[in-house]
Amino acid sequence: MAIINIRVNEDIKKEAENIYKEIGLNMSTAINLFLRKCILEQGIPFDLKLPNKDTLEAIEETEKILNEEIKRPVYSNVDDLFEELNKNV
């Protein structure tokens, strides 16, 4: 049996442990499952991708909206929103 020491953010560790506990696993078993799945898949068992151009543009636009560099209308209710959307149809 081998021992692996890893550094993990404490909050992430606690959150993961809570999830594992609910499904009847401990951290060691969960990590062993992950490693076995890596072997089975011959790689990381989920997609690791860089965001595409559209996603990067959406992220940039969202940051500008949040930083108030771009002004967007604000609606007090859903009816006002749909009324505005229907004007452009």
- Convert the pLDDT of each residue in 63-78 to its tens digit: 999 998 998 888 999 9
The pair phi, psi for residue 67, each rounded to 5°, is -90, 5
Where residue 89 falls among pLDDT bands split at 50, 70, 90?
confident
Cα four-point dihedral sign 17, 22, 28, 33? negative
pLDDT at 48 over 90: no
pLDDT at 88: 72
What domains, with CATH codes, occur in the chain? 1-48 (1.10.1220), 53-87 (no CATH)
pLDDT at 15 over 80: yes
- Please tell me the least confidently modeled range out of 36-40, 58-62, 73-77: 73-77
